C-alpha cells in the first residue's frame, strides 16, 4: 500500500480530538447532572472538614483537569493503532473515566458518601494506572495527568472526612 493510500486510511486527528473531548465531556456532564441539584439541597447541610474549599473552586479545577485529560487521551488515541500497549492504555483510561462519573452519581446523586469513598479509592488506583500507562507511551500525556491523582487524593480526604463527620 502506498504512503498516500495509508494516509487516506488513517483516522483523522480531528476525529481523535472529537472522541477524546466527547468522552471526557460526557463524564463531566454526567458528574455535573448528578452534582448540581444536590449542592443546595443536601451537600450544603453536611458537616464538612475545615479544609473544604469554597464551592466555586470545584468548577474551575475540574474544568482544567478535564481539559488536560482530554488532551492526554487525544495524544494516546493518535498513536498508531498497532502500537504496543496503546489498547491497554485506552481501556485503562475508559475505566478511570467511568469511575470518575460514577463517583459523582454515588456521592451526590445517591447521596451515599460511604459507598462513594469505595468508588473514589478505586478511581485513584485507576488514575494512577492510567498515568503510568500513558507515560509509557507518551511522556507528555503522562505529565498532563499528573495533577489529576493529586486532586483526587484531596477529594478522597474530603470524602473520608464527610463520612466521619456525618455518621
CATH code for position 101: 1.20.1260.100
Question: What is the residue-wise DSSP string for 15-41?
Answer: HHHHHHHHHHHHHHHHHHHHHTTHHHH
Overall number of domains in the chain: 1
Contact between residue 107 and residue 116 where contact means Cβ atoms under 8 Å apart: yes
pLDDT number for residue 10: 61
Integer Cα distance of 165 and 150 in angstroms: 23
Selection from 9, 145, 7, 6 nearest residue 76 by Cα = 145
Are 106 and 31 a contacting pair, CB within 8 Å?
no
Cα 66 to chain centroid distance, Å, stands at 7
Q: Give the CA-trace dihedral at 83, 140, 61, 30, to 10 degrees.
A: -10
- Residue 45 grid cell: 447541610
- Say what the pLDDT of residue 127 is: 98
Give the pLDDT of residue 2: 43
Q: pLDDT tens for residues 64-91?
A: 999 999 999 999 999 999 899 999 999 9
**Reported pTM:** 0.91
Q: Model confidence over 9-53: pLDDT tens digits? A: 367 889 999 999 999 999 999 999 999 999 999 999 999 999 999
Instruction: Centre a 10 Å sphere on the Cβ of residue 9 and count the other Cβ atoms it contains.
Output: 7
| Domain residue limits at 76 | 3-165
- The cell for 165 is 463527620
Amino acid at each position: 500500500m502506498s504512503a498516500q493510500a495509508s494516509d487516506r486510511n488513517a483516522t483523522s486527528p480531528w476525529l481523535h480530538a472529537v472522541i477524546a473531548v466527547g468522552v471526557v465531556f460526557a463524564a463531566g456532564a454526567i458528574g455535573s447532572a448528578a452534582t448540581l441539584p444536590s449542592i443546595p439541597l443536601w451537600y450544603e447541610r453536611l458537616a464538612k472538614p475545615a479544609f473544604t474549599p469554597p464551592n466555586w473552586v470545584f468548577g474551575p479545577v475540574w474544568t482544567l483537569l478535564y481539559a488536560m485529560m482530554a488532551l492526554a487521551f487525544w495524544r494516546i488515541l493518535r498513536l498508531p493503532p498497532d502500537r504496543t500497549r496503546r489498547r491497554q492504555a485506552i481501556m485503562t483510561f475508559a475505566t478511570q473515566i467511568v469511575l470518575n462519573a460514577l463517583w459523582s452519581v454515588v456521592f451526590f446523586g445517591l447521596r451515599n458518601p460511604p459507598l462513594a469513598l469505595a468508588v473514589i479509592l478505586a478511581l485513584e488506583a485507576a488514575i494512577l494506572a492510567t498515568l503510568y500507562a500513558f507515560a509509557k507511551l507518551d511522556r507528555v500525556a503522562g505529565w498532563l495527568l499528573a495533577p489529576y491523582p493529586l486532586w483526587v487524593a484531596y477529594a478522597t480526604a474530603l470524602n473520608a472526612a464527610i463520612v466521619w463527620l456525618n455518621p
